[in-house]
Structure 1
Amino acid sequence: MKVLSAADVRRAVPMSTAIDAVREAFRELAAGKFVLPPRQIFGNGSVLVMSAYHTPTGTAVVKKIGIALDQVPAIRATVIWTGGGDQLVADGGSITTLRTGAVVGVATDLLAPADASRLTVIGTGAQAPDQVRAVLAVRRIADVTITGRNADRAAALSTALAGEFPEVKFTPSTSIEDSLDADVICCATSSATPLFDVGALPDRVHVNAIGAFRPTMRELPRNLLASASVVLVDQIEAALEESGEIIDAIDSGALKTTDLLELGQALSAPPQTSGRTVFKSVGIGPQDWAIAAALARA
């Protein structure tokens, strides 16, 4: 049995590799090559169990996540991957942030303007750094604004990422409204209410939202979902079960289920885009499988 720490995960799977692995996993999901049981949710979302079985290889992944938003880190998880006689146990927190960043990289590459150069990340928690790494892996970003309620945390994260990407300008901010003039916006918060109004956004922008993972949480306003040229989700079934933004928009009549496009399908037939586009992710098992499989091969 191979046991891997967070540092081991980072050394073995760089973001570019993670993006390629997750992209292929979504193509295979759309082709029916995964058995994907519903996510098990306990304690009002404080404990999650996710699994996926890859039929072509006979390999499977199970992830247990403990979430405590008032603690640091907020996510504590363990991933178990099995295949044949092999078994891998790895730090699930690092896999979760890596695969969440990777799926945002896939969606951004698909939907964001080809000439995008300005990125804003709203949120300074554990997910934020991989949101930056993923978008920088697929677009030539020159300016990044890190926005959070705590000025010290926004400044510290900006400084750390500037050391990693010295060619990029990083600016910390505590004002969401002043940070929205961007080509790509990544929302990575635990907000229960929309972070901004659609009228404050540029006419052309791609928005990723990965922070809200419960029906009671919302990062995006319903009028953004109603007016976007594309509303992309990782999986419709999961979004209807767990995404507060999607549930609210559909319940209010602002959005129909038929307006949603799954990522795997979009990779096979890229949609026409204009104006504003949205990717909403709640995370599904094939993403964890993709990273774990890459670790097993490393």
Structure 2
Amino acid sequence: MKVLSAEDVRRAVPMSTAIDAVRDAFRELAAGNFVLPPRQIFGDGTVLVMSAYHSPTGTAVVKKIGIALDQVPAIRATVIWTGAGEQLVADGSSITTLRTGAVVGVATDLLASADASRLTLIGTGAQAPDQVRAVLAVRRIAAVTVTGRSADRAATLSRELAHEFPDVKFTPSTSIDEAIADADVVCCATSSATPLFTADALPARVHVNAIGAFRPTMRELPRDLLTTATTVLVDQREAALEESGEIVDAITSGELETADLVELGPALSAPPPATGRTVFKSVGIGPQDWAIAAALARA
């Protein structure tokens, strides 16, 4: 049995590899090759259990997540991957941030302008760095603006990322509206219960990723963005309808239809419109964890 630490995960699976693995997993999902039970939620969302079984290989992944938004880190998780005669146990927090970044990389590659050069990151928590790494892996980003509730944390994260990506200009900001005004790509990675901005604050052509809100009571995106976007992409329609506060709100209001939601897996074979304002809303599903764990098992 392999037991892997967070450092082991990072060494074995760089972001470019993670993006390719997650993209392939969503193609497999679209082909019907996963058995995907509903996520189990305990303690008002403080404990989650996710699983996925890949029929062609007979391999499975189970992840247990503990969430405490008032602590650092907010997410603590363990992943177990099982194959024929082998088992892997790995740090699930690093896998979660890596696979969440990777799916944003897949969606950004699908929907963002090919010449996108300006990224705005909203949020400075544990998920934030992998959001930047993923977008930089699929687009030639020249400038990144980092904004969040804490100016000090935005400045610290900007310095850390600038050290990792010396050819990219990183600028901390305390104004979300100013930070997104000329962005080509926006990544939202917060635990906000209310929308972070209005659609009017965005450029006419922009791609927005939102990964922070994972409960029906949470919202990062404004309703008017979802109802006016050219494409609203989700990792899985069923999961989004159950867990995404933004999606639930827009559909309950009658301003967005379930049929308006485009699933990522099928979209890889039949790309949706990538003009105007596009949105990717992710709540995370088991095949993403399976993809990273399978890559670890091969390493």
Question: How many Å apart are 1:178 and its aligned residue?
Answer: 1.1
Alignment correspondent of 1:255: 256
The residue number in structure 1 matching 2:40 is 40
Q: Distance in 1 between matches of 2:92 and 2:140?
A: 30
Structure 1 stretches of at least 4 aligned residues deviating more than 4 Å after TM superposition: none
Q: Quick one: which amino acid aligns to residue 47 of structure 1? A: V
Which letter maps to 1:50? M
**Shift of the alpha carbon at 1:109?**
0.0
Is 1:275 aligned to residue 271 of structure 2?
no
Q: What is the DSSP-based 3-state SS (H/G/I as helix, E as strand, rest coil) of the residue aligned with 2:197?
A: coil
Deviation track 1:226-282 (CA, whole Å, cap 9, x = no partner) reads: 000000000000000000000000000110000000000100101122210000000
What TM-score, normalized by structure 2, do the two folds share?
0.99
In structure 1, how many angstroms separate the alpha carbons of the residues matched to 2:273 and 2:251?
22
3-state SS of 2:44 partner:
helix
Deviations 1:112-145 (A, max 9, x none): 0000000000000000000000000000000000
Give 1:82's aligned residue: 82
Note the C-alpha offset of 1:191: 0.3
Instruction: Give the % identical residues.
Output: 85
2:94 aligns with: 94
Aligned equivalents of 2:275, 2:101: Cα separation in 1:
24
Correspondence list, 1:128-139, <5 A: 128-139=128-139
RMSD: 0.4
Q: Partner of 1:225 in structure 2? A: 226
Task: Write the mapping of 1:198-213 to structure 2, written as runs, cut at 5 A.
Answer: 198-213=199-214
Tell me the residue number matched to 1:124.
124
Residues in 2 aligned to 1:68 and 1:174: alpha-carbon distance in whole angstroms: 25
Q: Please tell me whether the aligned partners of residues 113 and 274 of structure 2 are also in contact (alpha carbons under 8 angstroms).
A: no
Q: For residue 29 of structure 1, what is the aligned residue in structure 2?
A: 29
| SS of corresponding position for 1:279 | strand
CA–CA distance in structure 2, aligned partners of residues 112 and 159 of structure 1: 26
- Aligned position for 2:2: 2
In the aligned structure 1, how far is the partner of 2:151 from the partner of 2:179? 14
Equivalent residue number for residue 149 of structure 1: 149
Distance 1:272 1:187 in 2: 21
What SS does the aligned partner of 2:133 have? helix
- TM-score w.r.t. structure 1 length? 1.00
Residue type at the aligned position of 1:117: S
Identify the residue that residue 140 of structure 1 maps to in structure 2: 140
Distance in 2 (alpha carbons) for counterparts of 1:227 and 1:178: 21
1:169-205 per-position Cα deviation (integer Å, ceiling 9, x unaligned): 0001111111012000000000000000111100000
Secondary structure of the 1:76 match is: strand
C-alpha distance in structure 2 between counterparts of 1:230 and 1:70, whole Å:
34
AA aligned to 2:86 is D
Contact kept? 2:124, 2:154, Cα under 8 Å:
yes
Number of residue pairs aligned between Structure 1 and Structure 2: 298
After TM superposition, the structure 1 = structure 2 runs for residues 239-250 of structure 1, keeping only pairs within 5 Å, are: 239-250=240-251
